[in-house]
Amino acid sequence: MQKVVGVEAVRVGLDEGITVLDLKQANTVTLAALRKVLKDGGFVSKDARLSARGTVVERGSQLVFTVAGTGEAFAIDGNATERSVVDDLRRRRSATIDVTGTAHPATAGVQRLTVESIR
């Protein structure tokens, strides 16, 4: 992971089964690319904590968060995200926002995000 462009520091907790990555500011590495590095190294990627800046759009009835700088897209998990947060995301469509949440491994090629907070 240390050799991935955009990664500043790596901390591994083998007992907890977690990897913590500090990314350089204005990096362009995607979560999908990081998950691939883990998979290629023989590890299983599970949920990831994510803090990113980007925009939310509505595609049909699905809210989608797109990370600025990388274009990586996450479908907002409306079942796991609190209703008030979903309503706030809808109100702030197309505005640049900072989001913190949990990114779930892709299923059927779709990355899903449970949003916990917006700034």
Checking if the pLDDT of 57 tops 90, the result is yes
Q: Are 97 and 54 in contact (CB under 8 A)?
A: yes
Checking if the pLDDT of 64 tops 90, the result is yes
- Residue pLDDT, tens place only, 6-46: 999 999 888 888 889 999 988 999 999 999 998 998 988 89
Residues comprising the chain, all counted: 119
Q: What is the pLDDT of residue 26?
A: 86
Q: What is the pLDDT of residue 14?
A: 84
Q: What is the pLDDT of residue 16?
A: 86
- Helix, strand, coil shares, percent, the chain, to 5: 15, 45, 40
Q: What is the pLDDT of residue 19?
A: 87
Specify the pairing of strand 110-118 against strand 73-76. Answer: parallel
Q: Which helix (H) or strand (E) holds 21?
A: strand 18-23
- Give me the numbers of helices (H) and strands (E) for the chain, helices first please: 2, 7
Domains of the chain: 7-46 (no CATH), 49-118 (2.40.50)
Q: What is the pLDDT of residue 78?
A: 92
- Residue pLDDT, tens place only, 73-100: 999 999 999 999 999 999 999 999 999 9
Q: Are 90 and 59 in contact (CB under 8 A)?
A: no
Q: Which of 33, 43, 19, 98 is nearest to 65 (CA)?
A: 98
Where does the pLDDT of residue 54 fall: very low under 50, low under 70, confident under 90, or very high at 90 and above?
A: very high
